[in-house]
Chain A
Amino acid sequence: MKFSLLLSISKSLLLARWSQTLVAAIGVTFSIAMFITLLSFMTGLNDLLDGLILNRTPHVRLYNEIQASKVQPIDYYAKYKNHYNFVSSVKPKNERLEIYNNAAIINTLKKDSRVLGIAPKITAQVFYNVGAIDLTGVINGIDVEAENKLFFFSNYVTAGNYIDLKNTPNSIILGKGAAEKMLTNIGDVIQVTTTKGERMQLKVVGYFQSGLQDLDKVQSYASIKTTQKLLGESNSYITDIQVKLNDINIAPATAIEYKNLFNVESIDIKTANSQFETGSFVRSLISYAVGITLLIVAGFGIYNILNMMIYDKMDSIAILKATGFSGRDVNIIFIVIALSIGIFGGTLGLIFGFGFSALIDQIPFNTASLPTIKTYPINYNPKFYIIGAVFSLITTYMAGYFPSRKASKIDPVIIIRGK
């Protein structure tokens, strides 16, 4: 009852200067809309760029590396245990790249609750034979289905169907750059030579475009079986186990754990791609800073208008106080005015922000390096809308707080006597 009275007074004061109120509200609308648009767009772009690498990179990769043994025979000899042993010209021994006992490792990983999925992989160095010329290349032998599920393989297959890789024996999906160099079309048969000199004919069933051109000139994909055949290895031969975790943040710790547990080399995504995280973070930071600056500027607009309104309404405030409205009532009246501007402008801002985002989402954006992207990327995360709404209320409240306090402190005697 009493509050509704204060509300109705606020409303009348607001509507009495509706054009000014509108300007203030438009300020809020504009800033909120820009805040939403900016963040949606920035984050969309961030996700896109991160996705370029992060989506396709396993959180933890287990592999073997050819390297010199860290422990030399002399270290085992008790007599020289407490000596410094210098062994010069140590060479790595001819170790296989295969992960030993990989079936057991995979089984163990599958039972680990932290693991989202596993995709085994073989990396094979090859030469693509084009007439008299050999081009160096890498064939990744993959489990097509697992690779697609975990690393969105099909997104990067720009021509042909990715599943043909599994269904067609002796097939290959060529990197776009490599295919252009070799002048092949889908359906053609190409010849590759392994580093050990074995030759094999492979049928091209598609092109692959990762967005990283250097990679596309070199990399190709084949199924695990085809690659094992190419290398002349048994069907248990696997060089990499790619692990995707439920939570990317535990990747570094998990990588170390697996390294010790399975006695293999491991690398985690954060170590491998730390620069991406930094880039994303800085871009987000800039977007937030700009958005919040816009809101604060809008807040000053509201502050100004309320101050003017209070100056203008001195008489009314004085008489309200003389007839029994307390300072608190007057305070509430002006806070309500500020908040209504905030709520009205903020809501419109959210709607416009969504509209602008949707509009940007429709703008064509074609670039050779990003085959799957047709329009500008937008992230419609509700988080931005919540932040925008909360922040518009906070800024308008703050903008209303000081003028309201001033209004509540107006001494009616001074105003009334001043006439």
Chain B
Amino acid sequence: MSKLIIETKNISKFFHDPMTMQVLKDINMNVTQGEFVSVIGRSGCGKSTLLYILSTMDTDYDGELFIDGVSMKKRKESELALIRNEKIGFVFQFHYLLNEFNVLKNVMLPGLKLGKYSNKEVEARAYEKLKILGIENEALKMPNQLSGGQKQRVAIARSLINDPLIIMGDEPTGNLDKKNGDIVFNIFQELSSVYNQALLIVTHDNEFASKTNRIIEMEDGKII
């Protein structure tokens, strides 16, 4: 059996504003190494909320979350930041590249923050990742000189820089047209099959989901 990367035990979450309501109800799920999992469900079913809890950015929940076998309960904000930095790669619906830095630096930033490799090594690794995504020629451009699809690919390269245990995506193809969406999907597919990368992608694109290894369908805060 492959290594468990993410495991949850009875995760529940409540929103209190404007009134108390339960958005997640006793979520039990896991992701193992090399698995390409998609989470689908209607708007408001809690899939994004779940993703943010799994990503450690949202700490206000009941139940337990284990990443790489370690509980995330009662951790300091700086510890969680370190875990996100090292073990989780993010791709959002919007690319969120920093316009002040060129593509290469954008990809390098999380790597520099981790400080595991020297600046030169991080740079070499960043080039490597850009190459996987086929955009190494754009490395020295500024983000605003790229097309939407290219930006999203840079964002993926950035998520890969620290060789994370898992890549999480929140509607990563939501803002892209069909062609670019397919490119991004193919990249994910390749990462999963060739590099044995675990992926957890939230989407409402059923076609996208149908091509993944496993589909987690949610409704009203529950997995069905």
Contact = CB atoms under 8 A, between A and B. Distances in A.
Interface string A22-39: 000000000000000000
A12 B100 contact: yes
Interface residues of A, number: 28
A398 to B, nearest CB: 24
Contact of A412 (B48, B57, B85, B162): B57
A413 interface: yes
Given A323-B85, A325-B81, A5 B113 contact: yes
B89 to A, nearest CB: 8
B131 to A, nearest CB: 21
Interface stretch (B32-40, B91-99, B181-189): B91-99
A416 B113 contact: no
B134 interface: no
Nearest to A16: B100
B86 interface: yes
Interface string A157-180: 000000000000000000000000
Interface residues of B, number: 32
Contact of A324 (B58, B100, B113, B170): B113
Chain A interface SS verdict (over half): helix
Nearest to A11: B100
A32 B104 CA distance: 40
Contacts of B92: 319, 322, 416, 419
B78 A419 contact: no
A323 B90 contact: yes
B115 A1 contact: yes
Contacts of B82: 324, 326
Contacts of B14: none
A322 B78 contact: no
A106 interface: no
A5 B119 CA distance: 10
B96 A315 contact: yes
B52 A413 contact: yes
A237 B93 CA distance: 102
A323 B100 contact: no
B52 A16 contact: no
Contacts of B15: none
A165 B78 CA distance: 81
A318 B96 contact: yes
B205 interface: no
A256 interface: no
Nearest to B77: A327
A323 B78 contact: no
A417 interface: yes
Contacts of B52: 413, 417
B84 interface: yes
15 contacts: A1-B115, A2-B115, A5-B109, A12-B100, A13-B100, A16-B100, A319-B97, A320-B98, A326-B82, A327-B77, A329-B81, A411-B57, A416-B94, A417-B48, A419-B92
